[in-house]
Amino acid sequence: MKEIRIIKLRNDDTIDYAGEELVKYLAEITSNSHDFKIVTEEYESGLEKEGLYLGHLSDFKLDHYFKLKDLDLDDAVYIDIKEGRGIIAGSNSRSVLLAVYRFLTEAGCRWIRPGKNGEIIVKKALGEINIALKEAASLRHRGIVIEGANSYENVADIIEWAPKVGYNSYFLQFKEAYTFFNNWYTHVNNPTMVPESFTVDKARELTHKVEKEIKKRGLIYHAVGHGWTSECIGISALGWESEQHNLKPEQYNYLAEVGGKREFWYGVPMNTNLCYSNPEVRELMVDHIVEYIGSHDHIDFLHVWLADDLNNHCECENCKKDSPTDLYIKILNLLDEKLTKAGYNQKIVFLIYYELLWPPKYEMIKNPDRFILMFAPISRTFEKSYKGFKGNESIPDYVRNKMVLPTSLGENLAFLEQWQKVFKGDSFDFDYPLGRAHYGDPGYYKISKITSEDIKSLKAIDLNGYLSCQEQRAFFPTALPNYVMGLTLWDKDKDFNDIAEDYFKNAFGPSWKECKEYLEKLSYLFDIEYWCAQKPWIDEEVRENMKKVPEFVEKFRTVIEANIALENSCWKKSWEYLIWHIDYCKLFAKFLENKAEGNDAKVLEAWDELKSYLQNIEVHIQPVFDVYRFIQIAEWKFRLKKAK
């Protein structure tokens, strides 16, 4: 067996891993016909030696091909492989890993969904592989954010998959990501499964394991977000559940006064703001964050947000003198000062969301290099994309604790534009197609197209990337939305139809065209705004369309059944998921049809049927569908009574 050398020009965990991944997949591609050996050597003129070289652009003196603003943050790849030998390089170690995956993709491999059964590995002789490309990512920030109910494996799988399709960042929300693991291990919303006991310590242990996976790949690690407001007074912010807490009397004075009372907002620490005009409160919060960074210096971007939820800001005499945003900026500036003093250079991500959508009136961010603006239009529509949109001419006046959520893109973008007048630093979009809205499109085609258009429009609205706040199991019936997102963030000029065609070919095999047409048509029968409760409940069009669903999906059953025995394990799995998907669509349509008709008794009946179907099949669709989250959103948006 011929020995092939993989020559690393430097050693670090990420380059080591890039080498291992290259060997793993090349062995599979070439059906183990070579003995791949990884070595570390200095680069000389090099290429006369037989082998594949892995290193930074600078190791090969290839930097001049790219104009990158920040070598650590900006990804670029250079691949020059002739007959299976040559150079695979990246602007930093993470980019080298991305370059390995770009190389494998170009060679014909595909990453259809997370997990081994989502891989299409081409078979080729090494000598037949010739690839030359130079690419810089279109956008700096390309990440996935944890939400929903997840096992450790679900999270590890999506982190493994993310760089294969171009992502470079991962965001583990809240200090221990407790709620997202707890939701799974205790099987919230699924009584058919036996709950396991789960603790904060266990969450911390899983978080450490996840962090290792993030670091191994050199992904940019985003952390925390909400929670500082209660954590700094010693109360953990674990999730959005109501809790009983007894504070010392003086501590109550730190909490925001709303409606004449200082207490936890509906009992939820995560959603409780503080009395930010109080300098003692600002010091407390900032000192807590500085201390946290001191003991967590592996975090790259720390998110410092105020409480979640809205209309929960302090109404005391002093707070009323300033807008929530002005007080927020006072905190951010103090934080920057203390971090600088302590010698910490972590980036701080601040959030434009709910009342913080209003730009500051008086305060200014003093050190823009420290900060990254994150625009989070959580209440936006997903029936339309940012394409061609501009902000409305003006924004409404801020009235304390009486804000109404902006739905239209014009309203949302108006806030962003006002902010951009006062903050010129780095920024990205924090968006939600796969957190909530996607369930309103069970074909997953329309939401993929909207996501593609959104990402292509980011430069026009002056944002340098996108983090997807999402369910980690959002691949039912396909992973097309997440896939399109990753590939388009890498190359914004990639045509949506080209990606979709290639995706379906690789995900479904010979009958891919029929499948694509089926899911596309199915998509357009559903209305995402209706699911998101962004329009009136009585809706004739929704009712008529939902009536068509059962016959439409049943008609496709024969195609699915004809493909389910395919030998290719990736194709087979894709078709298997579609079998479960048929009854899901029928029951979901029945539920929506009754709702759109205003038949409340039947709505509850249909809901119970749909819910119990999903609970019972979760074991078959666990990696691709988050039953907890679907039920949680439906019961909240549609005001459904919990089933007994």
Closest distance of CB 247 from Zn ion, Å? 16
**CA nearest 351: which of 238, 428, 289?**
428
Give 278 or 392: the residue with its C-beta nearer to Zn ion: 278
42, 60, 87, 130 from 65: Cα distances, Å? 22, 11, 14, 20
Check binding of 400 to Zn ion (CB under 5 A).
Answer: no
Provide the β-strand partners of residue 262.
Answer: 257
| Among 247, 290, 316, 604, interactor with Zn ion by CB under 5 A | 316
Sequence-ordered alpha helix ranges (H) in 527-568: 528-531, 540-555, 557-563
Closest distance of CB 253 from Zn ion, Å? 9
Give 277 or 574: the residue with its C-beta nearer to Zn ion: 277
Q: Are the CB atoms for 270 and 230 separated by under 8 Å? A: yes
Provide the β-strand partners of residue 87.
Answer: 53, 80
Closest distance of CB 327 from Zn ion, Å? 9
Check binding of 275 to Zn ion (CB under 5 A).
Answer: yes
213, 240, 338 from 494: Cα distances, Å? 29, 38, 43
Binding positions for Zn ion, 69-98, rule CB under 5 A: none
Check binding of 314 to Zn ion (CB under 5 A).
Answer: yes
Give 209 or 321: the residue with its C-beta nearer to Zn ion: 321
Give the type of residue at 547.
K
Check binding of 319 to Zn ion (CB under 5 A).
Answer: yes
Contact window for Zn ion (CB under 5 A) among 159-167, 245-253, 276-284, 384-392: 276-284
Q: E strands along 296-417, which residues?
A: 301-304, 347-352, 371-375
Residues 6 or more apart whose CB falls under 8 angstroms from that of 189 comprise: 149, 183, 615, 627, 628, 631, 632
Contact window for Zn ion (CB under 5 A) among 217-225, 313-321, 571-579, 594-602: 313-321
Give 214 or 255: the residue with its C-beta nearer to Zn ion: 255
Closest distance of CB 260 from Zn ion, Å? 12
Q: Are the CB atoms for 624 and 115 separated by under 8 Å? A: no
Closest distance of CB 436 from Zn ion, Å? 32
Residue 511, classified by CB atoms within 10 Å of its CB into exposed (0-12), middle (13-18) or buried (19+), is middle
How far is residue 620's CA from residue 167's CA, in Å, rounded to a whole number?
27
Give 316 or 403: the residue with its C-beta nearer to Zn ion: 316
Check binding of 589 to Zn ion (CB under 5 A).
Answer: no
Closest distance of CB 401 from Zn ion, Å? 12
Give 321 or 513: the residue with its C-beta nearer to Zn ion: 321
SS3 content of the chain, % helix, strand, coil (to 5): 45, 15, 40
Give 271 or 534: the residue with its C-beta nearer to Zn ion: 271
Contact window for Zn ion (CB under 5 A) among 76-84, 270-278, 427-435, 550-558: 270-278
Closest distance of CB 318 from Zn ion, Å? 6
Residue 1, classified by CB atoms within 10 Å of its CB into exposed (0-12), middle (13-18) or buried (19+), is exposed
Give 150 or 277: the residue with its C-beta nearer to Zn ion: 277
Binding positions for Zn ion, 129-148, rule CB under 5 A: none
Give the H or E element holding residue 409.
helix 409-422
Closest distance of CB 450 from Zn ion, Å? 40
Residues that bind Zn ion (CB under 5 A): 275, 277, 314, 316, 319
